[in-house]
Amino acid sequence: MSVSRDQLLKFLSETYEAQPDGQHNGLQVEGKKEIRTLVTGVSLCGDLINEAIRKNADAILVHHGFFGKSFLRVTDSVKTRLAPLLKYDINLFAYHLPMDAHPIIGHNSQLCKAAGLLIETFYSCGCYCKNPDRLSGLEIIRKLSEFCDRTAYAVNAFVLQQKDLCSSTFCGTRIWSFNSSFAADSPPRRIYLCSGGSSSLIDEIDDVDLFIFGEPKESAISTARDRGISMVALGHWRSEQAGLWAIGDLISKQFSIAVEYIPITCDV
């Protein structure tokens, strides 16, 4: 089975709502007209491109593609990545903020669903959530960690040890405790969740006990302590896989082509 490049582009354009962004969302590099095999990954890089070539893929779909609205200078890493795409005639599709913001198959909505949280207010950059099952902060982290890592964690007694503004690690996830959210008898009431490099939103969010994000920024941690908000850093790469899993499943069902997610892991 195959799908035409234009047909897949139309499907993706209709699926994702346009967002002001730092990259061109859509078809960034034109390749073969017919697509039989699609690989997906969080970020465009040499390793992902090499895997696509090895698997004879006709197209790549990523969250982080070529940033900038036009390629006026094809040098350094841009040249390194663009050259094999052109040589092997591989299409490159990229969707940045639209993949974050999709209310059903976006990163944030998928993470909320996995954690058992109920979305209260959804924005293009994150969402306020309720905790209907009164899960402890640690239970929320366990569920998210198992979802992101696709593995089960054996959770034993956990003693939170934190000095100054340094984090503790639970189920492979960094946490900063600045209130009682991680106590078994004091579950977080209201939570803000936003994947990726969103920790600077700590200055803007209101009336939350817990902020779950991807990549931490140094200044955000001290601000969180001053505001009494506990923090959870899933990791930038780790928190932005879910939307790719979801869109990959959707494409596979819609067009019956081979779709494979390639985890080029990064601990940032």
Numbered residues of the known binding site: 63-64, 100, 236, 240
Q: What letter would DSSP give residue 68?
A: B
d(CA 142, CA 127): 20
Say if CB 137 and CB 160 are below 8 A apart.
Answer: no
Contact 1, 54 (CB under 8 A): no
- Give the span between the Cα atoms of 66 and 74, in whole angstroms: 11
Look up residue 2 and give its amino acid.
S
Distance CA 138, CA 170 (A): 8
Q: Residue ranges for the binding site for a divalent metal cation?
A: 63-64, 100, 236, 240
User: By the 8 A CB rule, do 42 and 238 touch?
Assistant: no
Dmax over CA atoms of the chain, in Å, equals: 59
CA distance 142 to 152: 9
- DSSP of 120-176, one letter per residue? EEEETTEEEEE-TT---HHHHHHHHHHHHHTS------------TT--EEETTEEEE
Q: Exposed, middle or buried, 111 (CB in 10 Å: 0-12/13-18/19+)?
A: buried
